[in-house]
Amino acid sequence: MSEHNYRRVASLKTAAEFGAYLNEIGAALEFDREVEAGAGSPLGQPYQLGEIAIGNRFCILPMEGWDGTTDGRPSELTTRRWRNFGLSGAKLIWGGEAVAVRHDGRANPNQLILNESTVGEIEGLRRTLIEAHEESFGSGAARDLLVGLQLTHSGRFARPNSKSQLEPKIVYHHPLLDRKFGIGAEDACLTDGEIDDLIGDFVRAAVLAQRAGYTFVDLKHCHGYLGHEFLSAMTRSGRYGGSFENRTRFLRELVAGVRRDAPGLLIGVRLSAFDMLPFRMGDDKRGVPESFEGRYEYGFGNDPADPLRIDLTETFQFFELLGELGIQLVCATAGSPYYNPHIQRPAMFPPSDGYQPPEDPLVGVARQIGVTSQLKQRFPEMCLVGSGYTYLQDWLPNVGQHYVRTGQVDFVGLGRMVLSYPDLPADVVAGRPLQGKKVCRTFSDCTTGPRNGLISGCYPLDPFYKNHPQAAQLKELKQRAR
C-alpha cells in the first residue's frame, strides 16, 4: 500500500468525515466537534504545578535545528527559532532544543553544547524567547511561562565531528541496530566508570542551566539516545544493566546529582513510553519489521515474546520510580526516528532515506495518544505532556481539546508544527481559525535536510526557508533520490 491509499487529513473537511474515516481505519481517537475559545477554552486553562502557574495547555517540544556553530553556540537561525517559540503563545517550553552535555554526545556537529564557554549564549536564547513572548502578549505575560532545557547525550547515534560519520557510544550490543548502523562486535561499550563520568557531565550541565535561568531540565530518556538505551540494557552486565533497578540507575544517579548541586532546579523526563522492533524498507517501499527469532530483550515498553506488541509493565514501573524521585514533569513519546520513525512521528511523506508508512499515520497518532491516556489515568498526579499531534493537522485543536478536557493529558505537545506554524497555539486559544497555508502537512523536509547535511526548517511552508539558499540544494537532493 502506498501513501495514495491513505486519505490526506486535509481532505477530511467535516467532523462527520473525520470520524467516519477514523472508524474505517480502526484508529481509536476521540475529538470534540467544536473548538472552544475564551474563558471556557480547555486549551486556554492554566495548569498549577506546585506553586508554579503555567498559563495554557500548549507545550513546545524540543527539536534540533542542525544550525548551531561548530563549537556549540546558537546561530542566528537558532535564535530565530527560539524567538518563534516565544511568539507561539504556548506557555510550557519543554527544553526548546536538545542540548548536548559534552562534545562526543552531539547528534551532529552543529548541535548546541552547554558548558562554561557557551552558557551565556544559551541564557540568551531563553531571554530572546521571553522578550518575544512579552512583545507579542504584553508586559508581564511571561509570569505564567515555564521554560526548561533538554539535556542529552546521543549515544548510539552520536555524530560529533562529521554529519556523515557515526561515532557511537553504546550501552550494549544490539543485534539489529548494530548491523543496521555498522557497529562491530569489536566496538566497546561504555564502561561503568565512563558512565559515572558522564553522569558528572550531565550534573554540571544542569548547574549551568540553572545559572542561565531555566526553571527545569529534561533528563532525556527517549528516541534511542543514551538515556533511553539504558532502559533496554537487559543484556548488559554490571551496575547499569540487567535488572530494572540497574537499568534505571543512570536516571537515579542523575537526579541525585542535580538535587545535590542545583537545589531548586525542577527535573522533567521525556520518555519513549513504548518501542517496537526496528523497521526497514520492504519491496514495495513500505516499512516492514526486521526479522528476529527468539526472545527480544532489546526493547522497553514492548513484549519480549512479541516485540510488535506494546507492554507497559515496565513503563508503569518507571512512572512509579519517577514519583518516588519526586519528578512530576513527564513528556510521553515513543520509538525512535532512526529505526521506526512511523512509530515516533507519524507522517504521510517519509524523509529521503525513509520508508513509506506501513499504516495510516492516524493509526500511529492514536497509538501514542492512547498510551499517554493510559499513563495519565494510572498516574493522575503526573503533569503529562503528549506527543504525536502534528499529523492531525486541521483537526489538531479538536483532538487536543478533547484529551485535555477529559483529563487524559495535561498538555498538547507541538514539534514539527511549530516550524511551519509557530503561532498556532495563540490562534487556537484566541478562537481564530487556523491558517491553512501554515499547517504542517508532514512533508518531512525538516528531516530530509539534516539527513543530507543541511539545516532543519520548514522549506515548503515557511517563506524564510523557502527562500533560503539551501532550499535549492534540498530540491536537487530530493530529485536525485526519486
Grid-cell match 543484556, residue found: 235
Mean pLDDT of the chain: 96
471 and 413 within one domain: no
What is the rounded distance in angstroms from the CA atom of residue 338 to the CA atom of residue 353? Answer: 10
452 and 380 within one domain: no
Count CB-CB contacts under 10 A for residue 320: 12
- Contact yes or no for 29/386 (Cβ under 8 A): no
**What does the block give as the cell for 204?**
554540571
- Contact yes or no for 78/112 (Cβ under 8 A): yes
Please give the biggest Cα pair distance in the chain: 61
Q: How confident is the model at residue 2 (pLDDT cuts 50, 70, 90)?
A: very low
466 and 388 within one domain: no
Q: Is the pLDDT of residue 4 over 80?
A: no
345 and 267 within one domain: yes
Q: Which of 434, 432, 406, 431 is nearest to 414 (CA)?
A: 434
What is the rounded distance in angstroms from the CA atom of residue 300 to the CA atom of residue 383? Answer: 22
What is the rounded distance in angstroms from the CA atom of residue 138 to the CA atom of residue 459? Answer: 31
111 and 33 within one domain: yes
419 and 478 within one domain: no
What is the rounded distance in angstroms from the CA atom of residue 382 to the CA atom of residue 411? Answer: 11
482 and 345 within one domain: no
In this prediction, residue 3 carries a pLDDT of: 46
241 and 164 within one domain: yes
473 and 405 within one domain: no
In this prediction, residue 5 carries a pLDDT of: 84
Strands 216-219 and 306-310: unpaired
pLDDT, average across residues 143-149: 98
Q: In degrees to the nearest 10, what's the CA dihedral of 189, 193, 198, 200?
A: 170
C-alpha of 355 from chain center: 20
Q: Is the pLDDT of residue 479 over 90?
A: no
Residue 279's SS3 state is strand
478 and 333 within one domain: no
Strands 146-152 and 92-93: parallel
307 and 454 within one domain: no
Q: Give the global pTM.
A: 0.97
160: Cα within 13 Å, side-chain hemisphere: 19
Q: Please state the domain count of the chain.
A: 2
All residues at 6 or more sequence positions from 137 whose CB lies less than 8 Å from its CB, including other chains: 89, 426
Name the H helices within 243-389: 244-247, 249-261, 313-324, 341-344, 361-378
Q: Is the pLDDT of residue 109 over 60?
A: yes
Q: Is the pLDDT of residue 95 over 90?
A: no
The whole domain housing 181 covers 3-434
360 and 221 within one domain: yes
Give per-residue pLDDT as tens, 312-351.
999 999 999 999 999 999 999 999 999 999 999 999 999 9
What is the rounded distance in angstroms from the CA atom of residue 60 to the CA atom of residue 147? Answer: 10
What is the dihedral sign for C-alpha 208, 214, 216, 222? negative
What is the CATH number for 342? Answer: 3.20.20.70
